[in-house]
Amino acid sequence: MSMSATLEECLRSKGSQYEIVHHPHSHSSIETAAAAHIPGDRLAKTVLFEDEHGYVAAVLPSTYAVRLSELWAQTGRHLLLAKEVDLRELFKDCDVGALPPVCTAYGMYTYLDESLAHQPDVYFEAGDHEALIHMDTDQFLDLMDRAERTRFARRMAGTPS
């Protein structure tokens, strides 16, 4: 599959400068960082939540976990993890588990954890389990300009940075 068509259009429309980093097939964001030989703090992962009002995306470093209480407080919504079957339907041009962070392009409100803004560069899924997009942080923040920047995540114990 390589890059999702939706992501490719977002990158093109923003005039983003990036490189594609290929890596062995991986199943989790921590595994992806190791396979691509990149710091986990610089790999942005996308987690999708839902409630009766719809879907919300959270974008955070792969070495972090969402603090649901923070997300609930900030959104005023009791969000729960979205079901995998819904991910297939919402992100038709992506493999499940390889969601790019540009969820606003898929019609979803998106929260971006502030910790990613302090990295020198950022990597994120291109839409499959074998390619990442790599860009400097300013380019990434420009790409994510429609996301709300806030703090809702914490570093997971025992994860390498």
Q: What is the mean pLDDT of residues 135-160?
A: 92
* φ, ψ at 153 (rounded to 5°): -130, 160
Q: Which residues contact 33 (CB under 8 A, 6 or more apart)?
A: 39, 40, 43, 62, 63, 123
Q: How many domains does the chain have?
A: 1
Does 112 reside within a domain?
yes
pLDDT band at 97 (very low <50, low <70, confident <90, very high): confident
> What pLDDT is stored for residue 30 in this prediction?
86
CA distances from 57 to 38, 94, 159 (A): 23, 15, 22
Does 142 reside within a domain?
yes
Q: Examine the pLDDT at 149 and tell me if it is beyond 80.
A: yes
> What pLDDT is stored for residue 85 in this prediction?
86
Q: Examine the pLDDT at 125 and tell me if it is beyond 80.
A: yes
Does 35 reside within a domain?
yes
Q: Examine the pLDDT at 159 and tell me if it is beyond 60.
A: yes
Q: Examine the pLDDT at 1 and tell me if it is beyond 90.
A: no
Q: Examine the pLDDT at 106 and tell me if it is beyond 60.
A: yes
Q: Look-up: residue for tokens 């025992």?
A: 158
Q: What is the mean pLDDT of residues 74-90?
A: 91
Pairing state between β 109-113 and 54-61 = parallel
Is residue 131 within 8 A of residue 51, CB to CB? The reply is no
> What pLDDT is stored for residue 161 in this prediction?
66
In this prediction the pTM is 0.94
Is residue 44 within 8 A of residue 124, CB to CB? The reply is yes
Is residue 79 within 8 A of residue 108, CB to CB? The reply is no
> What pLDDT is stored for residue 160 in this prediction?
67
Q: Residue 108's domain is classified under what CATH number? A: 3.90.960.10
State percent of the chain over pLDDT 70: 98
3-class SS of residue 147: coil
> What pLDDT is stored for residue 37 in this prediction?
93
Does 52 reside within a domain?
yes
Does 161 reside within a domain?
no
3-class SS of residue 44: strand
Q: Examine the pLDDT at 87 and tell me if it is beyond 90.
A: no
Q: Which residues form the domain of 30?
A: 5-154
Q: What is the mean pLDDT of residues 127-151?
A: 96
Record the tokens describing residue 21, joined without a space: 């980093």
